Amino acid sequence: MATETEIIDLQKIRSDFPILSREVNGKPLVYFDNGASSQKPKQVIDVISHYYEYEHSNIHRGIHTLSQEATNAYEDARKTLQHFINAKHDHEIIFTAGTTGSINLVASSFSKKYLKEGDEIIISTMEHHSNIVPWQMICEEKGAILKVVPINDEGEFLMEEFKDLLSEKTKLVAVTHVSNTLGTINPVKEIIEKSHANGALVLIDGAQSVPHTKVDVQELDCDFYVFSGHKMCGPTGVGILYGKEDILNELPPYQGGGDMIKTVTFEKTTYNSLPHKLEAGTPNIAGGIGLAAAAKYMNEIGIDKIEAYEHELLTYATQQIKQIDGVRIIGEAENKASVLSFLVDGTHPSDIGMIVDKLGVAIRTGHHCTEPLMNRFNIPGTARASFAFYNTIEEIDIFITALKRAIKMLL
Amino acid sequence: MKIKEAQNEIIEEFALFDEWMDKYEHIIELGKDLPIIDDKNKVAENLIKGCQSRVWLHAELVNKKIIYSADSDAIITKGIIALVIRVFSNNTPKDIAQSELFFIDQIGLQEHLSPSRSNGLLSMVKQIKMYSIAFQVKA
């Protein structure tokens, strides 16, 4: 195994994240809850502070200098995010409140225009609630049907079963790129090809993939790609909906308000062009600018390097945890991102989580907003350690020691 | 008042522990020792579903006093439940309804009542009070 320093400059990176030097319960913080939200580097925090201290004003239509500057900063952020996922046009990047906001936008606008009774939408068993519930809601409203692709015991998407579900009734396929609970990396390119061959559009939930792997929406050829800022070192409350230009142009507006209109009279309103048509009201300006700073920060380290290093962390953690008696890993797909979900015989995940927290280690326990997936495995929940590029092999050792101590106390 | 005394006793009992580990080990032991709720009472209507762990609570009126029994699939939650039951069970509905729960804060376990824990404990405490109000009418 290559050492950490060969891939990334860990010491420099860790010094960028102020929170990593704090203590929790009298112990140095070991933060392994990155799947829920990542920490923020100074480079992002400073950009947000600077924006509020020197640049803030409402954007678009302002005549004064500050408004011009803030507008430029926000629209530059859009361009940065366009390049980050290699979208063809900057107006294909829609700022939203996050992955959930993006999915709800598509679900609402798409169904208004395209969905009718008897149509079908396909999702997979491993979806996060935010990629289940919005589709359920519109299916109920329109009398459409939600179909679910099963997975195998390793937690892998079953392609043959998916192909069988596809039909001329399928209007949209919404699948996660990386499972937040299992870590499974789905074969999204193949899913997209098969769906398109069948005439269905595809939305990819990239909340867990964008922070860890290079995403190229043109290469994938997906119709929608959605992700959150806060899981990729950016601020909370901001995220992205990418959509192909021609498709977004066809979507009716999601919310009405300022900024999304061309002209308003009491008789008739005409709508603005992309991206503004889908961005009603004053947006999260600082959030958008902060998210662009996060994308730049990750690019400077190199997403390929991040991916390679995190893979090492996952491999090491998996090897170590497997040596503990009674540990069962949930999610053993061949292609996995840095998520390690597990159970320990005779213990409850929440007990494990509480005790390792007392030892300074932050992990997540519960159903991870994937209740149907938990039902598939017939378990109430898991304990989950999820790693980011600022984590270390030494931290994994601390976690393993804490876990062993927890098991000893509980059994 | 019995409920207040029982809480003070628990506070004294926990004052012996300097280390969080000793405290948690004690709670885990209490959890293991808590008599398991009668299977006939471990039913859906007695389930208080938390995000993290499940809690079952049953209450019945015996000789004008409420007897609580409970269970959880998580042992630390179960240990704290054992303490809560020790405090409230076998008291009159009126005494329970009028009482205040203060020992959890005092022994440094207030985090277990925080909404972020979502462990069903907070809902269980509310449910205990609800039963006492309901039984006041019957008693």
Instruction: List domains and CATH numbers for chain B.
Output: 2-138 (3.90.1010.10)
Q: Does A129 touch chain B (CB under 8 A)?
A: no
Take residue B28 and report the two structure tokens written for it.
Answer: 């885990």
Cα torsion A358, A363, A365, A369: sign:
positive
B62: Cβ–Cβ under 8 A, 6 or more apart, which residues?
A: none
- Alpha-carbon distance A391 to A404, whole Å? 20
| Contact residues, chain A, for B26 at CB < 8 Å | none
Collapsed DSSP state (helix, strand, coil) of residue A117: coil
Q: Does A411 touch chain B (CB under 8 A)?
A: no
Q: Pick the closest to residue A379 from A338, A411, A344 (CA basis).
A: A344
Residue A19 has pLDDT above 70, yes or no: yes
Comparing alpha-carbon positions, the chain A residue that sits nearest to B74 is: A348
Q: Pick the closest to residue A348 from B48, B76, B120, B33 (CA basis).
A: B76
What's the pLDDT tens digit per position in B65-102? 999 999 998 999 899 999 999 999 999 999 999 999 99
What's the pLDDT tens digit per position in B7-25? 999 999 999 998 889 999 9
Q: Please state the ipTM of this predicted complex.
A: 0.88
Whether domain A45-300 has CATH 3.40.640.10:
yes
| Contact residues, chain B, for A354 at CB < 8 Å | 24, 76
CATH architecture of structural domain A4-31+302-410? Alpha-Beta Complex (3.90)
| Contact residues, chain A, for B76 at CB < 8 Å | 350-351, 354-355
Q: Does A196 touch chain B (CB under 8 A)?
A: no
User: Rounded to whole angstroms, what are the CA distances from A171 to A130, A145, A163?
Assistant: 19, 10, 14
What's the pLDDT tens digit per position in B38-65? 888 888 888 887 667 888 999 999 999 9
Location of each CATH 3.40.640.10 domain in chain A? 45-300
Location of each CATH 3.90.1150.10 domain in chain A? 4-31+302-410
Q: Does A124 touch chain B (CB under 8 A)?
A: no
Active site residues of B: 51
pLDDT at A14: 97
User: Shortest Cα distance from A406 to chain B (angstroms)?
Assistant: 10
What's the pLDDT tens digit per position in A194-234? 999 999 999 999 999 999 999 999 999 999 999 999 999 99
Take residue A398 and report the two structure tokens written for it.
Answer: 């601390």
What's the pLDDT tens digit per position in A291-323? 999 999 999 999 999 999 999 999 999 999 999
Residue B119 has pLDDT above 70, yes or no: no
Among B27, B71, B76, pick the best mutation site for testing chain A contact (most A Cβ within 10 A).
B76
Residue A4 has pLDDT above 50, yes or no: no
Among A24, A345, A348, A401, pick the best mutation site for testing chain B contact (most B Cβ within 10 A).
A348
Tell me how crowded residue A389 is: count the other CB atoms within 10 A of its CB: 27
